[in-house]
Amino acid sequence: SYQQVEQMKGVYMPPSITNAYKKPVLLTQGHMQWLYDNDGKRYLDLFGGIVTVSVGHCHPKVNAALKDQLDVLWHTTNLYRHPKIYEYVEQLAAKLPGDLNVVYLVNSGSEANELATLLAKAYTGNLDIISLQTSYHGYTSSLMGLTATQSYRMAIPVPPGFYHAVHPDPFRGAFGGCRDSISQAPGSCSCTGECISTDKYVHQLNELLGNSVPAGRVAAFFAESIQGAGGVVQFPKGYLKKAQELIKKNGGLYVADEVQTGFGRTGDHFWGFETHGVKPDIVTMAKGIGNGFPLAAVVTTKEIAANHAKAAYFNTFGGNPMASTVGKAVLEVIEEEGLQQNSKVVGEYFIRQLMDLQKQHPVIGDVRGQGLMIGVELVEPGTKTPLTTSKVNDIHENIKDNGVLIARGGRFNNVFRIKPPMCITKQDYQSKVLQCEPTKEPIVD
């Protein structure tokens, strides 16, 4: 029962694993965009297990592929050849532009970003890494430096060699904010307040390169194409291109962390970086790549991979036949079911509906996003002051009680993040989200 599980959590699970809700849900089944609890109550899943369930819970085609492979072969390691692995890497590489076609298969986003830091250091001969404030790139002892979000970093100093540039946040940026800057060139917006200055952010990155990172020592610049855990923060148009030019000039590589933004989620393109007109040197991917199966990858060029080959590389599980089978089925489903296009159409619809909701509810300070990667930032009405945590908690709990699971994030944990399985439909919004009623009973701790 739910009570037994709660008791066991207290005994066997680390206290750092927190509950999403005051009254947690015990989820026992899933089908496509729906989850079911142990009482049989149905929830619309707008979280997708942290942006991971890309094509749907227990998708029939992915399940069938996995079941077929189950009785054939589970594991070999990448020291042997197995056709499933090679069929998969060929298909995956074809999704990336230009000479990005060497694929390292690993097991998690953290592992992928660890490997990317190593590849960049080996290739450039430099040791310093730059990421952006409020970024999340993983949870390992060295990624405590790459991940800039304070709340995940514990009370330990940033490991040496990691530096954080100011993220140009169009809603609450240090150097002005402007929604239009996401889609329009600087200066052509209609904003009345102080407009965002992309140049100031680029200047700050340049200063960082000149001061904190001694010139010529930067190995890589990491960026999520839209910040995920940071609260669905998009870039002003042009920033990433300028940042890449600057990093390149200083001898570093540009790593696109596509762990959340890849596989069609942003709707317009298969990869988030394509929106910014940049071609990274290294792309890291996880989560949606396996629809919930442990699989991740780093894709780079032959030249960068060749440098890394001065030492042997090996990992036990990366892309074993089971994981490769799932990865291949996921790619095929995205293509066959037009899920990238669905992300675009349904995402735009959700954003429009949420903007209408914003007009009626001044507690919604900002609605933003691209495709099915949407953020709704809650504020004290009429201000940009983040809504207090207890009020956000109550609304979050209320939404869950009404049968919708939604994520939280952002610097002040006041951003609702909508990142559902990409099979979600417009009707789901109509049937579920708009029918949320305030919880009748007070929420008890």
As a whole number of angstroms, the distance between CA 39 and CA 141 comes to 39
Is residue 109 a contact point for ligand PMP (CB under 6 A)?
A: yes
Q: Which residue in the set 33, 54, 101, 108 belongs to the binding site for ligand PMP (CB under 6 A)?
A: 108
Residue nearest to ligand PMP (CB): 109
CB 331 within 8 A of CB 340: no
- Phi and psi angles of residue 379, each rounded to the nearest 5 degrees, phi first: -135, 165
Q: Which of 56, 138, 267, 290 binds ligand PMP (CB under 6 A)?
A: 138
Neighbouring CB atoms inside 10 A of 18's CB total 6
Q: Could you give the residue ranges of the DSSP H alpha helices within 257-401?
A: 302-308, 321-336, 339-360, 389-401
260 binds ligand PMP (CB under 6 A): yes
Q: Min. distance of Cβ 110 from ligand PMP in angstroms?
A: 3
CB of 49 to ligand PMP, least distance (A): 11
Residue 259 near ligand PMP by CB under 6 A: yes
Q: What is the DSSP string of 34-73?
A: EEEETT--EEEESSHHHHT--S-BT-HHHHHHHHHHHTT-
The verdict on 169 binding ligand PMP (CB under 6 A) reads: no
Q: Which stretch binds ligand PMP (CB under 6 A): 15-23, 103-111, 123-131, 149-157?
A: 103-111
Q: Does 20 contact ligand PMP by CB under 6 A?
A: no
* Tokens 């830091």, located at residue: 117
By CB under 6 A, which span of 31-39, 131-139, 242-250, 339-347 interacts with ligand PMP? 131-139
* Beta-bridge partners for 268: none
Among 24, 27, 36, 50, which residue sits at the site for ligand PMP (rule: CB under 6 A)?
50
CB of 51 vs ligand PMP, minimal distance in Å: 7
Q: Which residues contact 301 (CB under 8 A, 6 or more apart)?
A: 99, 100, 101, 102, 281
257 is an interface residue for ligand PMP by CB under 6 A: yes
Contact 191, 178 (CB under 8 A): yes
- 417 touches ligand PMP (CB under 6 A): no
Are the beta carbons of 378 and 388 closer than 8 angstroms?
A: no
Residues in touch with ligand PMP (CB under 6 A): 50, 108-110, 113, 136-138, 224, 228-229, 257, 259-260, 286
